[in-house]
Amino acid sequence: MVKRNHIVIIGGTACGPKAAARARRCDPAAKITIIEQGEDLSTATCGLPYYVSGVIENEDNMVARQPDFFKITMDMEVLTETRATAIDPKAHTVEIIDLETKQCSTIEYDKLVLATGSKPAVPDWEGKDLDGIFTITDIPDANAIRAYLSNLGNKKEVVIVGAGLIGLEMAEAFVSLECNVTILEALDRVLPTLLDSDIAAQVEKHLQDRGVRVICGRPVTGFQGDENGRVRKVMTRDTEFETDLVLLALGVRPEVTLAKDAGLTIGSTGGISANRYLQTSDPDIYAGGDCVENVNLITRKPVLAPMGSTANKHGRIIGTNVTGGKDTFPGVLGTAIVKVFDYNVGRVGLNESQARGAGYDTVISIVPSSEHATYYPGARDIIVKLVAEKSTGKLLGGQVAGPGDTAKRIDVLATALTFGATVEDLADIDLAYAPPYNSALDPLHNAANVIRNKQSGFARTLTPAEVKNKLEKGDRFVLLDVRSPLEWTVQRIEAEQVRLIPLTELRRRLGELSRDEEIVIFCRTSVRAYQAQRILDGADFKNVTFMDGSLDAWPYDTTSPDK
């Protein structure tokens, strides 16, 4: 009798079940065992904030596949509520413990898959174990938060520590549950590892408009509780915040304990090191999902990519390879998108600070636009930021934010980056156009063309942050507003440097401007500002720029004199 290949998979959330299902399809005769310490397999952990809020009403909807599906339909042995405690690579065995009966046993494997995921980052702060302090990684966590909130009064103060993806999604969830929400972020902006400060400022403003208090640059130092052991205060270096509930949303760390104890190589990021076949340093042990490090497709350096999308790709490749295949995983671009109330925020590739840190000389564009033709009803705004290499025009990354459709722009950019596109390539991509879906030139086309104009020397810009800094320093320059008088009465930047000359009047009023002055031009979206810059260039003005994105990209205060 031919011996059946025994594939043992540790971890049953995303990568593990995907690997199991693919392995079964590739090898209908293989023996497959899944070990999962929780009650369920294939839980949709990315949907937990929406389960907390009640958008997803039923807990069962959070489980993509019940264990019986894998047992009966897929002919696998499923050991839920079972923890793997040790791996012996030489003996090809895994030690396990039944968490209910406490019975220990040993399983032999031919191929082993580590899909152990990640664990929440929790610093060793004083008071971190008080009641009312939560992390959220699984359905029991979500149920615990819901139950705790239900026992609080009408006025519920919630502090979220960390302004990453989960922190912002949970902010919306808590607001929907009539909580007063404060976000504390140690770094200088929201989504600090994903966005540049100019786009992050737009997101922060939107959060504040929805009633969320956002405080950046304020590291937490600990917590204080009441006489019943419930959290009551969040402490920082110089102040404290009253609270009824705390969510720690500080990101996750790879769960590599089993791998490390088994002598497998751990990479520089703290994740398990795996080759392009997703084999670890032991060729009979594979690893995927949050627990492994990946290669960044642009920098070619190791990175962590704790995303359900990446985990599922890993699972399919591993399932193929443990049954004799040779599929490879090329790497990641750090693609991410998050819903922040009715704001959609996406990013891909390198942001500007990451690109510069990687040694690139960068050129950027910031382009406000509409998601489709403005004359077709219902167009919503978005803002696009592109990052490219100055000398070659090679695309390095992009960020898109706003109430409009950002996902399709991020997906186009992810595709372009995967194939090494330049801004010229992006400008020429034949994207779908009809008024309900797009403008004749997509916002990505416009953003690419702005960079091309900068490369040719036609366009010269300052970012909104650079203009704000010049105003705060009291620099002598003209901040030239070329909008209409009506627009000026509705909204304007209040500063002594600001002067209004509408674009339609600019050519005949050139004598009001000095050719020796520094002039920075703005309008609403920068289209008129760029035209004005070219008019001044043609009139031999020597020091003229326009503000990237103009007022639509200006995240700072303006005045509305008529209100």
CATH superfamily of 6-43+61-117+253-321: FAD/NAD(P)-binding domain (3.50.50.60)
| CA–CA distance, 366 with 344 (Å, rounded to integer) | 16
Q: Which amino acid is at 379?
A: A
Q: How confident is the model at residue 40 (pLDDT cuts 50, 70, 90)?
A: confident
Scan for tokens 């209910």, then name that residue: 100
Is the pLDDT reported for residue 259 higher than 60? yes
- In whole angstroms, give the CA distance from residue 341 to residue 175: 9
pLDDT beyond 80 at 3? no
Q: Catalytic one among 15, 26, 46, 523?
A: 46
Q: Which residue matches tokens 């990175």?
A: 303
Please report the pLDDT score of residue 11 as a whole number.
96
**Whole-number percent of the chain with pLDDT over 90:** 93
Is domain 342-456 classified as CATH 3.50.50.60? yes
Distance from C-alpha of 106 to C-alpha of 525, rounded to nearest angstrom: 65
Question: How far, in Å, CA of 380 to CA of 361, rounded?
Answer: 33
Predicted confidence band of residue 153 (pLDDT cuts 50, 70, 90): confident
User: What whole-number distance in Å separates Cα of residue 238 and Cα of residue 218?
Assistant: 9
Backbone angles phi, psi at 389, to 5 degrees: -80, 130
3-state secondary structure of 426: helix
- Choose among 388, 200, 427: nearest CA to 298: 388
pLDDT > 90? residue 513: yes
Tokens of 388: 């490219």
**With contact defined as beta carbons under 8 Å apart, do 338 and 168 qualify?**
yes
pLDDT tens-digit readout, 464-495: 999 999 999 999 999 999 999 999 999 999 99
Residue with tokens 């907390």: 52
- Output the DSSP codes for 380-418: -EEEEEEEEETTT-BEEEEEEEESS--HHHHHHHHHHHH
Average pLDDT score, the chain:
96
**Are the C-beta atoms of residues 106 and 96 closer than 8 Å to each other?**
yes
Burial class (CB in 10 A: 0-12, 13-18, 19+), 187: middle
Instruction: Fill in the amino acid letter for 150.
Output: S
Q: Which residue has the tokens 């290949």?
A: 5
Query: What is the pLDDT averaged over residues 408-419?
Result: 98
Does 561 score more than 90 pLDDT?
Answer: no
Q: How many angstroms separate the first and last alpha carbons of the chain?
A: 86
Give the pLDDT confidence of 322-370 residue by residue, as tens digits.
999 999 999 999 999 999 999 999 999 999 999 999 999 999 999 999 9
Q: Are strands 111-114 and 6-10 parallel, antiparallel or unpaired?
A: parallel
- The CA distance from 190 to 559, in Å, is 25
Active site residue 46: yes
Q: Which fold has domain 461-553?
A: Oxidized Rhodanese; domain 1 (3.40.250)
Rg of the chain taking only CA atoms, in angstroms: 27
- With 0-12 CB in 10 A as exposed, 13-18 as middle and 19+ as buried, what is 318? buried
Q: For residue 86, is pLDDT > 90?
A: yes
Split at pLDDT 50, 70, 90, the class of 64 is confident
The residue-averaged pLDDT of 217-226 equals: 96
Of the pLDDT bands very low, low, confident and very high (cuts 50, 70, 90), residue 2 is: low
Distance CA 319, CA 275 (A): 15
Give residues with Cβ within 8 angstroms of 473, minimum separation 6. none
CB 179 within 8 A of CB 156: yes
pLDDT (average), residues 411-435: 98
Burial class of residue 494, CB neighbours in 10 A (0-12, 13-18, 19+): exposed
Report the candidate in 329, 257, 318, 256 with the shortest Cα–Cα distance to residue 17.
318
Q: At residue 67, does pLDDT exceed 80?
A: no
Q: Which CATH number fits domain 133-250: 3.40.50.1220, 3.40.50.300, 3.50.50.60, 3.40.50.920?
A: 3.50.50.60
Confidence category of residue 562, pLDDT binned at 50, 70, 90: low
Domains 342-456 and 461-553 share a fold: no
- Structural domain spans, the chain: 6-43+61-117+253-321, 133-250, 342-456, 461-553
Residue 374 pLDDT more than 80? yes
The four Cα atoms 60, 15, 114, 138 give a dihedral, to 10 degrees, of: -30
Assign 42 a pLDDT band (cuts: 50, 70, 90): confident
**What pTM did the predictor assign?**
0.94
